[in-house]
Structure 1
Amino acid sequence: MSSSIDFDEAFSVLFLESGWREPIGPVEALRRWKSFSEDCLDGFPWDVDDYNNDLTLRTRLAETLPRLEEEGYDAARRLAGKIEESDSRVRVVLRCESFLGFPEDRWWLRRTPIYASKDFCIEFREAYGVDIEPKSRFDDDKREIARMKAAGMSALDVLIHVRAEGWYVSTNSGLFFRAFREAFPSVRRNRKLVLGWISGEVEEPMLRSSFSEHR
């Protein structure tokens, strides 16, 4: 049978031939689909374009893996099994039969989430006329951040507290920065340092110093 290196190359080539815009290997494809399934379980927090990109990824996997299995790549069969593990998780959320023009074996295109973040629900409703219940861990954290701000907690103290307590948003730099920016839109000078601190590129003393300078 072909080596794992050969499989990685064959996988990437087929994905590019299918119209995928950039090189991607099986490890990254699996990571992205697993991340999508976890995002959906938590209440999808990104926008509709992100959602559709992930669905396109799953469609490409459905088209590519059978071809690679037919060509004798055992790694394709193993990858398909791992993809199915994430499938079984995300099916718990993708349950609304919204787009019946797609066949059942393309269930990720046929069905929509039963819940997601508020902004996603609004955007999805405007784009497709499909209602989704607004419910997500991202929105829960945003509400709690707004509550702390209303109680008088400073932007710096909120940042430190959210990370120290290991909130949901603190596990993803993009979500963390979005939640902070929406709660504290007037804090502009420090945003670059805040993003650097969130992503681990800036140490806490430098962040504290920056906020002290702009009081």
Structure 2
Amino acid sequence: MTDTREFLDKFRDTVLALGGRRLVTPTDVIGGWRGFVEECETGYADNIYEFQNDLGVRNLIMKILDSPTLRNYSQMEWVREEIGQVDARYRALLLEPEVRPGRPWWEARIPRLAGRELAEDFVTEYGVRVAIAE
């Protein structure tokens, strides 16, 4: 069993090397993804550029999960489980057709509910209408 301090140091170093700046602990990363998904559950209220920027946390997560440096730490099992739970919540929000084929699943589809501005951006960008959160 590896030391938790060692794991947290390696996690931080890996995230920083991958370009992460604010989210440097497993709790930060999971919380960032969970917070984004919670916003989407109630209808993400900003524009498509902010939506895509905030969705970028899932790209960072993919790189973390694929990291050879972190792969063998037992603590990553908890990280994977937590991410899996949040992933399931996000998948449940997404419309079925892919609007961005060839992208990872979290980028290929869009939430079925959005704030007015994002809903309008989805129509403009992808020609897809979604429910508007009031």
TM range (shorter): 0.7 to 0.9
Whole-angstrom CA distance in 1 between matches of 2:61 and 2:29? 8
Q: How many residues align structurally?
A: 132
- Residue number in structure 1 paired with 2:121: 123
Q: Note if 1:15 corresponds to 2:15.
A: yes
- Residue number in structure 2 paired with 1:37: 37
Q: Unpaired segments of 5 or more residues in structure 1? A: 140-215
- Residue number in structure 2 paired with 1:100: 101
- Percent identical pairs in the alignment equals 23
- Residue number in structure 2 paired with 1:55: 55
Whole-angstrom CA distance in 2 between matches of 1:132 and 1:117? 12
Give the CA deviation at 1:6: 2.0
Whole-angstrom CA distance in 1 between matches of 2:38 and 2:28? 15
Give the CA deviation at 1:62: 1.2
2:42 touches 2:113 (CA, 8 Å); kept in 1? no
Amino acid of the residue matched to residue 102 of structure 2?
A: G
Whole-angstrom CA distance in 1 between matches of 2:16 and 2:112? 32
1:49–1:16 distance in 2 versus 1, CA, 3 Å: farther
Q: Secondary structure at the match of 1:92?
A: helix
Amino acid of the residue matched to residue 9 of structure 2?
A: E
2:37 touches 2:89 (CA, 8 Å); kept in 1? yes
Q: Deviations over 1:155-202 (max 9, x none)?
A: xxxxxxxxxxxxxxxxxxxxxxxxxxxxxxxxxxxxxxxxxxxxxxxx
2:119 touches 2:131 (CA, 8 Å); kept in 1? yes
Taking structure 1 as the reference length, the TM-score comes to 0.55
Give the CA deviation at 1:3: 2.0
**RMSD (CA atoms):** 2.0
- Residue number in structure 2 paired with 1:112: 110
Whole-angstrom CA distance in 1 between matches of 2:54 and 2:74? 25
In the TM superposition, structure 1's runs of 4+ consecutive aligned residues that sit over 6 Å from their partners are none
More helix by share: 1
Whole-angstrom CA distance in 2 between matches of 1:134 and 1:90? 16
Q: Secondary structure at the match of 1:2?
A: coil
Q: Deviations over 1:57-115 (max 9, x none)?
A: 11111111232453x2111121111011011111111234111122xxx2001111122
1:6–1:50 distance in 2 versus 1, CA, 3 Å: farther
Q: Unpaired segments of 5 or more residues in structure 2? A: none
- Higher-Rg structure is 1
1:75–1:122 distance in 2 versus 1, CA, 3 Å: same
1:28–1:97 distance in 2 versus 1, CA, 3 Å: same
Q: Secondary structure at the match of 1:91?
A: helix
